[in-house]
């Protein structure tokens, strides 16, 4: 199921639609028409519906609990290319070399990490 905004004349209507298989073809069936999209948005009903539906989702609940600070993180794990490249970066001593070169300077941020992220981005950016 998914929401769809359908134009009819000069108005747009919000519908809840479901895909159904009919033999070899997939057809969309309107489950509910919720009304004119502009009126739902202006009246705040669309926001209320979104909040109510989001409240039923476990993932959204988890995000809300984290935002409220009611849940503590046990730790952070790095995954993927950043983990592999960071280990290579450290094993080659690039972090220590940069730290030595930057030792006498007073930066307000971790320059070595900025260089690391720039190189990582360049390695994995498309184009």
Per-residue pLDDT tens digits for 17-50: 999 998 999 999 999 999 999 999 999 999 888 8
Predicted local distance difference test score (pLDDT) of residue 13 = 96
Q: Residue 14 is encoded by which pair of tokens? A: 């919000």
Q: Residue 27 is encoded by which pair of tokens? A: 């057809």
Instruction: Give the start-to-end residue ranges of the domains of the chain.
Output: 2-67, 81-124
Q: What share of the chain is helix, strand, coil (3-state, %, to 5)?
A: 50, 25, 30
For residues 55 and 87, give the distance between their C-alpha atoms in angstroms, rounded to a whole number.
40
C-beta separation of 112 from 90 below 8 A = no
Rounded to 5°, the CA angle 36-42-45 comes to: 75
pTM beyond 0.95: the answer is no
Q: Give pLDDT tens digits for 86-125.
A: 999 999 999 999 999 998 888 888 899 999 999 998 888 7
């Amino acid at each position: 199921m998914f929401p769809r905004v359908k134009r009819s004349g000069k108005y747009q209507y919000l519908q809840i639609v479901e895909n159904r298989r009919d033999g070899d073809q997939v057809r969309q069936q309107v489950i509910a028409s919720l009304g004119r999209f502009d009126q739902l948005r202006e009246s705040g009903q669309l926001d209320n519906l979104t909040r109510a539906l989001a409240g039923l989702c476990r993932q959204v609940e988890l995000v809300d609990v984290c935002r409220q600070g009611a849940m503590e993180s046990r730790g952070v794990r790095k995954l993927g290319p950043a983990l592999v490249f960071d280990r290579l970066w450290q094993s080659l001593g690039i972090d220590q070399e940069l730290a030595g070169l930057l030792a006498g300077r007073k930066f307000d941020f971790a320059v070595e990490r900025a260089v690391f992220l720039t190189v990582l981005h360049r390695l994995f950016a498309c184009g």
